[in-house]
């Protein structure tokens, strides 16, 4: 019990005689009546947000993602965001307390509603602490656009969460604690029903709350607390709930209003220069990507089948031939017989970004891949050129292609879609799809039928098994059926690749087949930097021993360059609007990679990384591939301008329709 101290000033007590009475042990006014209930809900959200920040900061310190010297800023800025977020969350309840007639407010129904609402607030806040912990452990970030995207597909995502995390244990604990704490607070809650405040006094208090809310909406956002180059510290200073709704609100933004851009003419000039190679000629017109690619100097067109195995979460960190952990003996043996690209970077952190890069070569403009955007049909893409060259393009996926709009995107852009609905019932599957081994068998069956019909194969095969909940068929050497985590996922994905490769060699058409193995993205994004470059490193292996000599290509390149490089190896000449380039025609100094991370975009050339941030910010950093760290550097105007040009042109060509066939 707090002791009673002198009354608050007369002006305050007169303004709200029943909302504020005596002072508490801190010397601050004690809020009573209906206002005390709103304050209680605000306090619950604030304390739980503080607890989440303590937990996430401890995790970050243990992983050396932040330094102890950053904690004061993290907690001071974080307290501001938590206070504001709590204010927004309590508003609906405050409106009820303001407008509810005394008869309803003090009735059994009214009391039950309040008790239930407070219990729900406590339980939800506690559950969100655990949810944020697991999300942060995976992404080193607060809830962001990834979380928003996941909720669009609740069946797949919620089932994956249930199978991957101790959902029921956490939920049970949250319910038990919420009921217990509500019981502890029952006297304080009951006391609030004894007040007899007037509607006028409540209106005065609510007016003050509305003014404060309006001021925070106008003057405070994530950028207020997210300053400096320490990405993880900035994430910790944010509030998870606020960050989630900010990501949802900015899901469809005017790119030019929020990101640094150049004049259209300067951007076009720079893009034409960036894409120019010794075999290209600009086509003119309004699309700077348009050019003719002439590969006749390489020799006659190679009539090869093309199979692209787009591998879920297969970062370079696992691939032995790239200096990784050696979990991929099959990828390594295929790489030893083919062309291995040692310095390739994914364009994003989601599968749809990998699909966008490989098929359209567009730069990964935030916040959303073109795979999921509206009006994305009829785009000029890899299938456009393949079909002109006589191929029959297919997209083969072991899951349900309605997820992430895959079927609509590929089907609307010249690819025949084959997904789980077209495949026989598999012996093993989880929420994401059938096991990769079965997927590969089904893909081979599709290819055999195409060859029998006299069609040339050009296919993208998307795997699913290397993904939480990491469950696999029994009997695979070195792969636990469950509980093996990411290592088991990588080992199984590699096993399935070897299974496919060995079966492929038995086909008479295999000798004229180009097998491409490339990841959709790395396993997870982590690190202090705004764009954690090292986590974007992925393998690219191209195997066609009858046509391509074994070799390693060390040129810095991007996932958006995969398609044009394949076309170059086929010796095809074509009119192009793909913004990617043929890696094999690049000079070492010409290579660059492009990235998207949450709301930031970046371009790396040499050891310099130019990042375009939300709010028209730009910065240049130096990347150290040994320590895998970024450090601040003076602005590089040329690199920053090239980054602006490529990203804004990708956005403009898509939005304007000039990237359509």
The DSSP code for 608 is E
Secondary structure string (H, E, C) spanning 525-566: CCCCCCCCHHHHEEEEEEECCCCCCCEEECCCEEHHHHHHHH
Using a cut of 0.85, tell me whether the model's pTM lies above it: no
pLDDT tens for residues 223-240?
777 776 788 898 999 999
User: What is the structure's pLDDT at 518?
Assistant: 98
Asked if 538 and 344 count as a contact pair (C-beta separation under 8 A), the reply is yes
Residues facing residue 292 across a β-bridge: 281, 575
User: What is the structure's pLDDT at 474?
Assistant: 94
Q: Which of 21-25, 86-90, 364-368, 501-505 has the lowest mean pLDDT?
A: 21-25
Assign 542 a pLDDT band (cuts: 50, 70, 90).
very high
Closest CA relative to residue 321, chosen from 341, 346, 305: 341
Secondary structure string (H, E, C) spanning 435-451: CHHHHHHHHHHHHHHHH
Asked if 424 and 430 count as a contact pair (C-beta separation under 8 A), the reply is no
CA dist., res. 308 & res. 44, Å (int): 51
Q: How confident is the model over 374-399, as a mean pLDDT?
A: 97
User: What is the structure's pLDDT at 88?
Assistant: 94
> Residue 13: exposed, middle, or buried by beta-carbon count in 10 A (0-12, 13-18, 19+)?
middle
CA dist., res. 426 & res. 289, Å (int): 43
CA distance to 135, 268, 595, per residue, from 577 (Å):
38, 13, 20
**Does 302 have pLDDT greater than 50?**
yes
Number of Cβ within a 10 Å radius of residue 355: 25
Q: Please, which residues have CB within 8 angstroms of residue 633's CB and are 6 or more apart in sequence?
A: 608, 620, 621, 622
> Residue 6: exposed, middle, or buried by beta-carbon count in 10 A (0-12, 13-18, 19+)?
exposed
CA dist., res. 394 & res. 461, Å (int): 8
CA distance to 436, 466, 559, per residue, from 472 (Å):
9, 9, 28
The DSSP code for 614 is T
User: What is the structure's pLDDT at 528?
Assistant: 63
Q: How confident is the model over 576-596, as a mean pLDDT?
A: 95
Asked if 442 and 408 count as a contact pair (C-beta separation under 8 A), the reply is no
Closest CA relative to residue 368, chosen from 658, 656, 650, 142: 650
Binding residues for Mn(2+): 312, 351, 520-521
Asked if 290 and 282 count as a contact pair (C-beta separation under 8 A), the reply is yes
Q: Which of 9-13, 63-67, 96-100, 399-403 has the lowest mean pLDDT?
A: 9-13
**Does 620 have pLDDT greater than 60?**
yes
User: What is the structure's pLDDT at 247?
Assistant: 79
Asked if 403 and 462 count as a contact pair (C-beta separation under 8 A), the reply is no
User: Residue 463 has which token pair?
Assistant: 């795997």
Q: How confident is the model over 591-599, as a mean pLDDT?
A: 92
Q: What is the DSSP string of 287-333?
A: -TT-EEE--GGG-SPP--EEEEEEETT--GGG-GGGTS-S--HHHHH
Say what percent of the chain tops pLDDT 90. Answer: 75
Q: How confident is the model over 66-90, as a mean pLDDT?
A: 94
**Does 27 have pLDDT greater than 60?**
no
3-state secondary structure of 476: coil
CA dist., res. 334 & res. 498, Å (int): 9
**Does 9 have pLDDT greater than 50?**
no
Mean pLDDT of the chain: 90
Binding residues for substrate: 467
Binding residues: 312, 351, 467, 520-521
CA dist., res. 661 & res. 657, Å (int): 9
User: What is the structure's pLDDT at 256?
Assistant: 87
CA dist., res. 517 & res. 494, Å (int): 11
Assign 355 a pLDDT band (cuts: 50, 70, 90).
very high
Which run of H or E residues covers position 282?
strand 280-282
User: How far does CA 653 lie from the centroid of its chain?
Assistant: 23
Closest CA relative to residue 79, chosen from 211, 242, 249, 229: 242
User: What is the structure's pLDDT at 527?
Assistant: 63
Assign 114 a pLDDT band (cuts: 50, 70, 90).
very high
Q: How confident is the model over 537-552, as a mean pLDDT?
A: 97
**Does 455 have pLDDT greater than 90?**
yes
**Does 544 have pLDDT greater than 90?**
yes
CA dist., res. 503 & res. 165, Å (int): 36
User: Residue 208 has which token pair?
Assistant: 């003050």
CA dist., res. 644 & res. 261, Å (int): 5
- Comparison of pLDDT for 13 and 468, the residue scoring more: 468
Q: How confident is the model over 68-77, as a mean pLDDT?
A: 93
Closest CA relative to residue 459, chosen from 400, 540, 516: 516
Q: How confident is the model over 246-257, as a mean pLDDT?
A: 78
Q: Which of 182, 280, 349, 351 is catalytic?
A: 351
Cite the beta strand spans of 312-412 per DSSP E. Answer: 339-345, 391-397
Q: In the Cβ-directed half-sphere of 255, how many Cα atoms lie within 13 Å?
A: 23
CA dist., res. 232 & res. 215, Å (int): 28
**Does 28 have pLDDT greater than 60?**
no
**Does 153 have pLDDT greater than 80?**
no
Q: How confident is the model over 248-253, as a mean pLDDT?
A: 72
User: What is the structure's pLDDT at 530?
Assistant: 67
Assign 526 a pLDDT band (cuts: 50, 70, 90).
low
**Does 611 have pLDDT greater than 50?**
yes
Is 342 noted as a catalytic residue in this protein? no
Asked if 610 and 639 count as a contact pair (C-beta separation under 8 A), the reply is yes
Assign 597 a pLDDT band (cuts: 50, 70, 90).
confident
User: How far does CA 659 lie from the centroid of its chain?
Assistant: 24
3-state secondary structure of 516: strand
User: What is the structure's pLDDT at 157?
Assistant: 72
pLDDT tens for residues 265-293?
999 999 999 999 999 999 989 999 999 99
Q: How confident is the model over 436-443, as a mean pLDDT?
A: 97
Q: How confident is the model over 561-586, as a mean pLDDT?
A: 98
User: What is the structure's pLDDT at 367?
Assistant: 84
**Does 24 have pLDDT greater than 60?**
no
Dihedral angle, C-alpha 285, 286, 289, 291, nearest 10 °: 0
User: What is the structure's pLDDT at 107?
Assistant: 94
Closest CA relative to residue 432, chosen from 374, 493, 477: 493
Does a cis peptide bond (omega within 30 degrees of 0) precede residue 188? no
Q: What is the DSSP string of 198-258?
A: -HHHHHHHHHHHHHHHHHHHHH--HHHH--SS-HHHHHHHS-HHHHHHHHHHTSS--HHHH
Question: Which string of b and e fits 462-480 if b means at least 16 CB within 10 Å?
Answer: bbbbbbbbbbbbeebeebb
Q: Which domains are delineated in the chain?
A: 33-251 (no CATH), 291-580 (3.40.720.10)
**Does 17 have pLDDT greater than 50?**
no
User: Residue 4 has which token pair?
Assistant: 């009673």
Q: What is the DSSP string of 78-121?
A: HHHHHHHHHHHHHHHHHHHHHH--HHHHHSHHHHHHHHHHHHHH
User: What is the structure's pLDDT at 221?
Assistant: 82
User: What is the structure's pLDDT at 525?
Assistant: 67
Q: How confident is the model over 33-54, as a mean pLDDT?
A: 94
Dihedral angle, C-alpha 593, 596, 600, 602, nearest 10 °: 0
Q: What is the DSSP string of 39-81?
A: HHHHHHHHHHHHHHHHHHHHHHHHTTSS-GGGHHHHHHHHHHH
> Residue 489: exposed, middle, or buried by beta-carbon count in 10 A (0-12, 13-18, 19+)?
buried
**Does 15 have pLDDT greater than 90?**
no
User: What is the structure's pLDDT at 8?
Assistant: 34
**Does 11 have pLDDT greater than 90?**
no
């Amino acid at each position: 019990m707090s002791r009673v101290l002198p009354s608050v000033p007369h002006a305050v007590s007169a303004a709200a005689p029943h909302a504020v009475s005596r002072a508490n042990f801190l010397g601050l006014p004690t809020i009573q009546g209906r206002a005390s209930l709103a304050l209680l809900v605000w306090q619950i959200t604030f304390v739980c947000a503080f607890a989440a920040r303590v937990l996430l900061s401890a995790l970050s310190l243990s992983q050396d993602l932040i330094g102890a010297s950053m904690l004061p800023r993290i907690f001071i800025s974080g307290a501001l965001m938590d206070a504001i977020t709590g204010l927004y969350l309590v508003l609906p309840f405050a409106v009820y307390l303001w407008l509810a007639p005394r008869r309803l407010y003090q009735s059994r129904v009214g009391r039950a509603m309040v008790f239930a609402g407070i219990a729900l607030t406590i339980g939800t806040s506690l559950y969100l602490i655990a949810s944020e912990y697991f999300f942060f452990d995976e992404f080193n970030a607060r809830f962001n656009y990834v979380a928003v995207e996941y909720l669009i597909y609740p069946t797949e995502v919620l089932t994956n969460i249930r199978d991957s995390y101790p959902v029921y244990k956490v939920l049970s604990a949250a319910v038990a604690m919420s009921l217990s704490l509500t019981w502890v607070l029952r006297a304080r809650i009951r006391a609030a029903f004894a007040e007899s405040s007037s509607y006028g006094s409540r209106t005065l208090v609510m007016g003050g709350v509305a003014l404060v809310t309006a001021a925070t909406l106008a003057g405070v956002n994530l950028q207020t607390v997210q300053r400096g180059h320490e990405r993880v510290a900035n994430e910790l200073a944010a509030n998870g709930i606020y960050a989630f709704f900010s990501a949802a609100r900015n899901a469809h933004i005017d790119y030019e209003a929020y990101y640094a851009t150049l004049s259209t003419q300067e951007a076009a000039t720079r893009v034409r220069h960036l894409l120019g190679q010794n075999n290209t000629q600009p086509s003119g017109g309004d699309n700077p990507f348009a050019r003719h690619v002439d590969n006749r100097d390489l020799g006659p067109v190679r009539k090869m089948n093309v199979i692209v195995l787009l591998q879920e979460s297969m970062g370079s960190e696992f691939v032995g031939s790239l200096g990784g952990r050696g979990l991929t003996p099959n990828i390594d043996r295929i790489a030893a017989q083919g062309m291995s690209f040692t310095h390739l970077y994914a364009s994003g952190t989601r599968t749809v970004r990998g699909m966008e890069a490989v098929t359209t070569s567009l730069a990964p403009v935030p916040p959303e891949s073109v795979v999921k955007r509206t009006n994305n049909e009829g785009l000029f893409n890899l299938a456009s050129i393949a079909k002109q060259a006589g191929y029959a393009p297919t997209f083969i996926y072991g899951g349900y292609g309605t997820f992430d709009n895959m079927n609509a995107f590929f089907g609307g852009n010249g690819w025949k879609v084959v997904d789980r609905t077209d495949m026989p019932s598999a012996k093993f599957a989880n929420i994401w799809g059938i096991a990769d081994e079965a997927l590969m068998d089904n893909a081979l069956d599709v290819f055999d039928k195409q060859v029998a019909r006299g069609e040339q194969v050009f296919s993208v095969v998307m795997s699913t098994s290397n993904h939480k909940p990491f469950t696999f068929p029994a009997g695979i050497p070195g792969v636990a059926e469950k509980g093996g985590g990411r290592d088991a996922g990588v080992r199984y994905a590699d096993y399935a690749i070897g299974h496919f490769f060995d079966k492929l060699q038995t086909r008479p058409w295999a000798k004229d087949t180009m097998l491409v193995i490339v990841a959709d993205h790395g396993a997870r994004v982590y690190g202090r930097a705004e764009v954690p470059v090292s986590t974007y490193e992925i393998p690219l292996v191209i195997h066609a021993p009858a046509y391509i000599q074994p070799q390693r290509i060390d040129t810095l390149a991007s996932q958006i360059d995969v398609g044009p490089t394949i076309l170059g190896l086929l010796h095809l000449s074509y009119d192009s609007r793909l913004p990617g380039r043929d890696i094999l025609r690049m000079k070492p100094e010409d290579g660059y990679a492009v990235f998207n991370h949450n709301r930031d975009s970046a371009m790396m050339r040499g050891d310099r990384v130019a990042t375009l941030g939300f709010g028209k910010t730009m910065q240049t950093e130096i990347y150290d591939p040994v320590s895998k760290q970024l450090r601040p550097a003076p602005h590089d105007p040329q690199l920053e301008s090239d980054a602006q040009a490529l990203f804004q042109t990708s956005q403009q060509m898509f939005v304007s329709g000039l990237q359509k066939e």
